[in-house]
Structures are given as C-alpha cells and as structure tokens.
Amino acid sequence: MIKNQSLVKLRKVSKVFLRGSVDEVTALDNVRLDVGAEDFITVIGSNGAGKTTLLNVIAGVYPPEKGGKITINGQDVTRLSEYKRARYVGRVYQNPHIGTAAKMTIEENLSLAMLRGQSRGLRIATNKKRRELFRSVLVPLGLGLEDRLSALVGTLSGGQRQALALVMATISKPSLLLLDEHVATLDPQTNRIVLELSEIIVQKEKMTTIMVTHNMEHALRYGNRLTMMHKGKIIVDIHQKKKSGLSVNDLVVAFERASGERFADDSIMLRNVDS
Amino acid sequence: MDYVINFLSVSLYEGLVYGFVTLGVYITFRVLAFPDLTVDGSFPLGGAVAATLIVGGVNPWLATLVAFIAGICAGLMTSLLNTKLRINALLAGILMMVALYSINLAIMGRSNVSVLREATVFKQTAQLFGIEHTTTLSVIFMVVLAIVILGILNWFLRTEIGLALRATGDNEQMVRGLGVSTDMTTIIGVSLSNGLVALSGGLIAQKQGFSDVGMGIGMIVMGLASVIIGERLFRPRGVTTILFAVIGGSLVYRLFLGIALRLGLPPNNLKLITALLVIIALAIPYIQKKVRGEWIPPAARM
C-alpha cells in the first residue's frame, strides 16, 4: 500500500488516564498506525490493552496527549470534536443500546443516521422517499425490520438492535467504520449473522474498517490485516499475504515473541472454544 | 347549570394557558431529560415583561411576544450555564430561577404591576370582533392559540432538528456519534421551553389583571403534575398524542384544583395539594407493583 493512500494516520498517539495519581494508566503508548483506504483491520488484545481507547481517539471521544496527531482523509482531526468528526466515522458499539435510540421508531433512528455529518434543517425528517431508502437497507438483514418501520426500537431484541445499529453506522457511507466488539454481547447465532452482515456491507460499500474483537478466530477470518495490542502498543501487525493461513496457535506464538511475555489471557482462549 | 358551565369554561381556559407551562416542562424533563427549574423564574418573567410593557403603552400583542422572547433568553442562559460552563443542569436552573427573582423585581420596579385598566390581548380581541369581553371569548381565544402552538410543536418535533432534539434526551452518546452537537440541541430545547413558559406567564398576567413577583412559585411542580397526569391518564404513543395528552393533563389538573377549591379548600393550601398530587401520581405505579409482588428497581436519584 502506498503511504499517501492512507485514509487514517496516527502519529505519536498516546493517552494517559488519571495522570499523576497512583492509578495512572497509559492506555495508548506512542501509537503509529496507517490505515489504507482498502483496509479491514482486526484488532485483538487482552482487557486493558488499549483497543477501545484506540477507537475512542480516532472517533474523537477524547483527544490524544499533546504531540499526537490524527489525520483522516489527509485532514488533521486531532482537535476536532466527536460530533464534527462523525461525518467521516461510523461506529458500532459493544452495547446495542448505545448505537440506537430506544424511545424512537426504527424510521426515526434511520433518519437521524442518514443525515450523519450533514446540516439538519426544518424539513420533516421522514417522508415517502426516505422510507423507501430505509426499507431497501433493512431488507438485506433478513430480520423483517423493513415491515416495522414505525416500531419503537426499544421493543427490538439485542441482536435486532445491533443489526440496526450497523445499518445506522453505514447508511450515510462514512469513509471509516469502527466496530467495537460489536458482537460480543450477542448469542452465537446472532453473533454470526451480524458479523456476516458487517462483512457484506463493508465489501459492498468498500468501507475502511477497524474491528476490535476478543475472538482470535474472528480476527483471523475477517479482514485483510490483523493487529494485536498489548499495554497500549500495537505489537503485531500482519498484512494480507501472511494473514491467510495463520492459526490461533500462530497468533499466540506471535504474541509471545512480540511482547516477551507468556500468553495468559484466558478470556481470549475461552472465547475461541465457544465459536 | 350556568354555574357548572362557567366553572368548566374557566377550568378550560386556565388549563390551556397553564398548558403552555406544561408543554415547556414536557420538552425539558421528558424530551431532553434536562430537569430544568428555571420555570419558576421564567413564568413570572413573562408576566413582568408583558405587564410592564403594557403599562408603558406598548401594544399588548407585541408585549406578549416580547415576554415569549424574554423567556427564550432565560432558557438560553440556563442552557449556556450547563453546556458551556458545564454546570449541572439542576443547579443551572436553580441559579437562573434565583437570579430571575431579582431581575423580575427590577423589570417591574416593585413586587406587582396591575394591568386591570390597561388594554390586553383578550380585550383587544373582543374589540376586534365588536363583542363583550367574556369568559367564552377567553376560551375561544385560548383554544385557537393552543391549536396553533400544538400544531407548530407537532411539526417541529418531526423535523430533522426536532428529531435530533428528541434523540438527545434518549441517547446523547448516539446523537454525538451521528454528528449532532448535543450542546446545540440542549440550547434549542431549553430556550424554547422557557419561551413557552414565559408566554403563559404573560397571558396569565393579562387575564388575572396583574403580574406578581411570586406568581411562579410551584410552577415546575404544577407542570410536572400535569405531564404525569396526562401520561398516566391517556397513555399516549407518538408525538401528536403525547402533545395532546400533555395539554389534557393540564386541563384535568385545573379541573381537580377547581373542584377542590369549590369544595371549600382554602386557596392557601393549593401548593400543598399540588405537591400531594404529584407524590400520589408518582407513587401509584410503585404501590401497584408492591401489591402485585413484582420486582421493583432501586430508587433513582435523577
């Protein structure tokens, strides 16, 4: 990948929480990352490795420490607030409740999402034309949501809400999609459906994607590039060619070599047993 | 019979005028999830502005409009305290409520201003149609005004901005993630709410013939009581029905209060009755669950 084709660039990005206190945590430690426009990167790592913090600084939930720089599409967004950055960045959270508004209807949620990053005016938010668009993006989910446009989102199941959140994150075709352990709370079957939907949407819209996961097999099966985080650093970064053919065991070996520590995260190992 | 009709029509127009306070409280507490206590100050602010301007010879329609705008300014201040200085919503409202007490006194120059002998929007409407200024006329006036304002709100809450406003109270994090400044939606909502409250204050001052610095005490509780009654009684779903239910709640509340007064309740006890009404309305679902032996979540602080 040629350097100047990078969609997202992180330079010297660090994040320290509770600085100066006994509980000081370095969640991100001088991270450098180039995300190519065609990349679908999976990020794995144990709890506290800095995966979600990485997504939060990219999305602009909080800025990195001084000296760090983040660019999206060549534009310096380091100090740009989350809502201003949202036009470039769609995100699906681990908790389906965060990605959707429970007391509003499906069509109202989609209408809110459709206008991501655009100015909102005094036009009525839902009309016939928009409803048709909403139906067309809901049909591929195969959940029948297209017939329930006026149902309150709070009446949907967790899996349905997460599928809707995925559609909401992508309906305006932002250049970057962040998936933050977005299937971790779903049952194994729904989990697979939502993951497959994610892949279909990403491929169809050619979206640059960063997917955080706890599950090594998911990290291997999806995407063209795999990164592993440990103590706030990206310690393993495997590109397309080497990635295919890797096994969970290879990843454990790669981790131990890169971190100089024994791999001892039961949560990652156990999750692989479920799937 | 005349007595009953008169009683009902007085309850009707009072319910509609105070219904604007209820709509304001509904917008902050329910739509935005912003517990705004500015209301107790912005209601008399509307009265003070309208009455003082009318006494000063300003056209009552214009005076009422300025009262509405003054309320918007009060709400703007509260929401700026919250969004720009990060002062807790509850505290921001209390601070503005206290500050407005002095501001209202300064506007009126004393603790009350009479408009009994002045032109009011009600008297001017009567003149316009060349009829007597009666209760019936007040009722018609208020019904028309209420329909106009309900219509505007019903439209506004369905627009793109209105949707963002509603979503802010539902899921603030999502709204920011979708590229909307929640500061902006909070400012719009709280300002609009206090504008409606001050409009109500301005109309009440003209109706009762005077503005008093103490006329806002308990407004927030009254507004909440009406919202809760409307929600419990009419079980609305969807924007339009909710708006009507909120106004309906205000009407039922006035009816209750009117009956209580005519049964000989001393007017001094009104606020106590209002507080009791809210307590009962809030406690009923808890007691129902308790009786049915259902699980009850722990007490909430907000």
For A14-28, write each residue's pLDDT tens digit: 999 998 888 899 999
Confidence of residue A1 (pLDDT cuts 50, 70, 90): very low
Nearest to A122 among B159, B166, B181 (CB): B159
Nearest CA in chain A to B176: A83
Interchain proximity B179–A86, CB inside 8 Å: yes
Beta strands A89-92 and A176-180, pairing class:
parallel
A149 at interface of B, judged by CB pairs closer than 8 A: no
Nearest CA in chain B to A100: B174
Show residues of chain A in contact with B167, CB under 8 Å.
101, 104, 108, 112
Q: Please give the radius of gyration of chain A, using alpha carbons only, rounded to the nearest integer.
A: 19
Interchain proximity B162–A123, CB inside 8 Å: no
Q: How far is B204 from chain A (nearest CA, A)?
A: 31
Interchain proximity B161–A101, CB inside 8 Å: no
Nearest CA-CA partner of A210 in A66, A52, A74, A102: A52
Q: How far is A121 from chain B (nearest CA, A)?
A: 6
Kindly list the domain boundaries of chain A, sorted by start residue.
3-101+173-263
Q: Which helix (H) or strand (E) holds A197?
A: helix A188-205
Average pLDDT over residues A99-113: 96
Show residues of chain A in contact with B174, CB under 8 Å.
98-101, 112
Interchain proximity B175–A112, CB inside 8 Å: yes
DSSP string for residues in chain B: -HHHHHHHHHHHHHHHHHHHHHHHHIIIIIIS-----THHHHHHHHHHHHHHHHHTT--HHHHHHHHHHHHHHHHHHHHHHHHTS---HHHHHHHHHHHHHHHHHHHHSSSEEE-TTS--HHHHHHHHTT----HHHHHHHHHHHHHHHHHHHHHHTTBHHHHHHHHHHH-HHHHHHTT--HHHHHHHHHHHHHHHHHHHHHHHHHHHTEEETTTTTTHHHHHHHHHHHHHHHH---SHHHHHHHHHHHHHHHHHHHHHHHHTT--GGGHHHHHHHHHHHHHHHHHHHHHHHT---PPPP--
Burial class (CB in 10 A: 0-12, 13-18, 19+), B190: buried
The tens place of each residue's pLDDT in chain B, 302 residues long, gives: 788 888 888 899 899 999 999 999 999 999 999 999 999 999 999 999 999 999 999 999 999 999 999 999 999 999 999 999 999 999 999 999 999 999 999 999 999 999 999 999 999 988 888 887 778 888 999 999 999 999 999 999 999 999 999 999 999 999 999 999 999 999 999 999 999 999 999 999 999 999 999 999 999 999 999 999 999 889 898 899 999 999 999 999 999 888 888 888 888 888 888 888 888 878 888 888 889 988 888 887 65
A204 at interface of B, judged by CB pairs closer than 8 A: no
Interchain proximity A83–B182, CB inside 8 Å: yes
Q: How far is B163 from chain A (nearest CA, A)?
A: 7
Show residues of chain B in contact with A86, CB under 8 Å.
176-180
Interface of B with A (CB under 8 A): 155-156, 158-164, 166-167, 170-171, 173-182
Whole-number Cα distances in Å, A163 to A188, A195, B164: 14, 9, 21
Nearest CA-CA partner of A96 in A226, A190, A2, A233: A190
Contacts of B159 (CB under 8 A, 6+ apart): A120, A121, A122, A123, A124, A125
Name the fold adopted by A3-101+173-263. Rossmann fold (3.40.50)
Kindly list the domain boundaries of chain B, sorted by start residue.
2-215
Nearest to B178 among A86, A103, A104 (CB): A86
Interchain proximity A125–B182, CB inside 8 Å: no
Taking a C-beta distance cutoff of 8 angstroms, is the pair A43, A227 a contact?
yes
Show residues of chain B in contact with A81, CB under 8 Å.
181
- Selection from A52-56, A246-250, B3-7, B128-132 with the highest mean pLDDT: A52-56
- The pair of structure tokens assigned to B264 is 């000989």
Show residues of chain B in contact with A101, CB under 8 Å.
166-167, 170-171, 174-175
Determine phi and psi for A274, rounding to 5 degrees: -65, -40
Nearest to B177 among A86, A103, A125 (CB): A86
